[in-house]
Amino acid sequence: MLRHLLLGFTIFTALHCQAQVERLLYVAQDQGFVYVYDINNGHKFLRKFEVPGTGEFKGISADPIRGKLYLSSYVGDQFVCVDLKTEKVDWSIPIIGYPDSQAITPDGKYIYLPKRHGGGWDVIDADQHKIVAYIKVPFGNPHNTWASLDGTKMYLAAMGNENLYVADVKTNKIIKTVGPFEANQEDPWSWTQKKHNGPKGIRPFAVSKDDKYCYINLDGVLGYEVGDISTGKRLGRVEVGDFESIRGNHLTTSHGVNITPDQKEIWVSNDAGPYVHIFDCTVWPHKRIADIKLNKKNGWISFSIDGKYGYPSSGDVIDTKTRKIVAELIESEKLVEVQFENGKAVRASAR
């Protein structure tokens, strides 16, 4: 009898603790609002809150340790910190040179913010609320950023530059170059840009958890290229066949690539299709295993922390097992999941 009571108490406690995990999706909208969705309840819309004086967001990240949400805002050229509990602006700092898509170290201490017209990345100290370092790239317009899982490295990419750079977080120096990768110079738009503004180059990219491989979107390429981070060499291209290569919202064909949290699949955007194409990355060459038709044009791909949901920027919510669209959000490339336990933020995803 006692054994049964203890077993029942254990099951009840486990279910109770599980129920305490609140999973919220924060989705930034260009008119200066952040929409909040309940992942546990079919991605039900809960509320929205305004971030005054901001808009045209280029990046989003969250720090569960400090309980903060960060937004890079093209309106006002600023980097903004929002308190997750009050959903009010905590602090902001001006960014000269077009703030773009940032990444944050796992401990939440530093934010690496690319400046598209500034030639490099500002390093922001989250506790001091100020810029404490600057990382210059050889050329191009700094655009996207990725943090290594162990927090020791930052990956930096610039438009107009076909190389991926690796920076050491301790020294804030570039320690490795991966590439060059090969944008499609046969694409008429790429040729135009090459003639007037130099080569096109890298758009979104993703890095494996073990820091061995990078997956790169390039201008004019419907698909992605693969790089070996340890050797710095380009390994090859994975193209989406059987589909017409058409420029989408970002004036390129694929402006979205990501690796599933279990590291088994690469999801790549067909912006104008609009499709998400899925490749098995456990084999080489990567094998295309699914094509998911979206309801609207795409341009970015994110995942829930547990990998159960894929979030293309079209606003479609995709069940990663069934490949079915199961919910709909507002259209946005800027979204992040934050998990709460007993009202306290404990985990956050990365874009």
The domains found in the chain, sorted by start residue, are 24-348 (2.130.10.10)
87-91 contacts, C-beta under 8 A, 24 or more apart: 87/34, 87/49, 89/51, 89/52, 91/129
Residue 203 has a CB neighbour count (10 Å cut-off) of 27
- 5 backbone dihedrals φ, ψ, rounded to 5°: -65, -45
At 220-266, the pLDDT tens digits run 899 999 999 999 999 999 999 888 788 777 878 999 999 999 999 99
Tell me if 27 sits within 8 A of 46, measured CB to CB: no
* Helix intervals (H) in the chain: 2-19, 188-197
For 273, the token pair is: 């299709």
Q: Distance of alpha carbon 288 from its chain centroid, rounded?
A: 22
Does the pLDDT of residue 5 top 50, yes or no? no
Task: Indicate the pTM of the whole model.
Answer: 0.92
Check: CB of residue 255 under 8 Å from CB of residue 271.
yes
User: What pLDDT score does 251 carry?
Assistant: 79
Residue of 16 and 222 predicted with greater confidence: 222
- The percent helix, strand, coil of the chain (3-state, each to 5) is 10, 50, 45
